[in-house]
Chains A and B, each alone.
With several copies, the nearest count.
Chain A
Amino acid sequence: MIKILFFASLRDQLACESASLCYSQSLKNIQDVIALLSERGEIWHKQLNSASVKVAVNQEMADLHTAIKDNDEIAFFPPVTGG
């Protein structure tokens, strides 16, 4: 299983805090995860393909080409605004 988390405005727009995906070998990298999640509907497609969306794998910043494996934790979120 792959655990997916969504934060802040992205979570509000998707109306989804977390999701799980069954791991399969066709899920090679973040791009594949986005493609799969985008099938959930227009809003998912639009939000996850936005140029500003950030992604982390196992709490480390990642990008579209970052490889994934079973049991990874993937998080999508907007640019950070703390401090």
Chain B
Amino acid sequence: MSVSIQQDDFDCIDEYKLLLADAPKIGAIVTFCGLVREFDQGQGLALELEHYPQMTEKVLLGIIAEAKARWPILNVRIVHRIGRLSLSEQIVFVGVNSEHRQAAFKACHFIMDLLKTKAPFWKKAISQQGDYWLAAKACDQRAKAAWE
């Protein structure tokens, strides 16, 4: 299991291959990739991602440990980018492998829901309508609460 926080883009195929390396012990790989979606009716230009360095890794490793305690998963890989990201760019990758699919599906979904509400990242919208910090969403809190 490993976590990378980086400005550079990542290659999903490299991340996927890392999870594939556990075959034939594993039968399932589930991946999530989050992208910069268009916003402000086409006037959004980019997101600027900031984080709290040492805490981020600590929180993400804690979330992975919690997922491992809940489901029989073998390996987890998290990559999260920081800095300025244009529309369509990759922001975050979460990949999980396991023997059976249910564990990988649930763990990957759980990790994303907890990352969204616990990992110290913040997004600033860069927009033709002006720049502004994004507000946390109530639906993300509800998604996290559903795992409790």
Q: How many residues of B contact A (CB 8 A)?
A: 28
Per-residue interface assignment for chain B, residues 6 to 37, with 1 indicating a CB less than 8 Å from any chain A CB and 0 otherwise? 00000000000000000000000000001000
Q: Is B109 an interface residue (CB 8 A)?
A: no
Contact yes or no, A82 B51, CB < 8 A: yes
Contact yes or no, B80 A82, CB < 8 A: yes
Number of residue pairs spanning A and B whose beta carbons lie under 8 angstroms apart? 70
User: With A7-B120, A56-B120, A77-B120 in contact, do A82 and B52 touch (Cβ < 8 Å)?
Assistant: no
Q: Is A25 an interface residue (CB 8 A)?
A: no
Contact yes or no, B112 A79, CB < 8 A: no
Contact yes or no, B116 A77, CB < 8 A: no
In the assembly, what is the distance between CA of A77 and CA of B52, in Å? Answer: 9
Contact yes or no, A82 B116, CB < 8 A: yes
Per-residue interface assignment for chain B, residues 109 to 126, with 1 indicating a CB less than 8 Å from any chain A CB and 0 otherwise? 000100111111111100
Q: Is A81 an interface residue (CB 8 A)?
A: yes
Per-residue interface assignment for chain B, residues 85 to 117, with 1 indicating a CB less than 8 Å from any chain A CB and 0 otherwise? 000000110000000010000000000100111
**Chain A residue contacts of B142, Cβ below 8 A:** none
Contact yes or no, A59 B121, CB < 8 A: no
The chain A residue sitting closest to B120, CB to CB, is: A80
Q: Is A8 an interface residue (CB 8 A)?
A: yes
Q: Is A60 an interface residue (CB 8 A)?
A: yes
Q: Is B136 an interface residue (CB 8 A)?
A: yes
Cβ contact of A81, chosen from B55, B58, B122, cutoff 8 A: B122
**Chain B residue contacts of A79, Cβ below 8 A:** 135-136
In the assembly, what is the distance between CA of A77 and CA of B51, in Å? Answer: 10
Which B residues have a C-beta under 8 Å from some C-beta of A?
34, 49-52, 54-55, 58-59, 80, 91-92, 101, 112, 115-124, 133-136
Which A residues have a C-beta under 8 Å from some C-beta of B?
5, 7-9, 12, 56, 59-61, 75, 77-83
Which 6 A-B pairs have CB atoms at the shortest separation, nearest pair first? A82-B121, A79-B136, A8-B122, A59-B55, A9-B133, A83-B116
A-B contact sample (15 more), CB < 8 A, given A8-B133, A59-B59, A81-B135: A7-B50, A8-B50, A56-B55, A59-B54, A59-B55, A77-B122, A79-B136, A80-B116, A80-B120, A81-B121, A82-B49, A82-B51, A82-B120, A82-B122, A83-B101
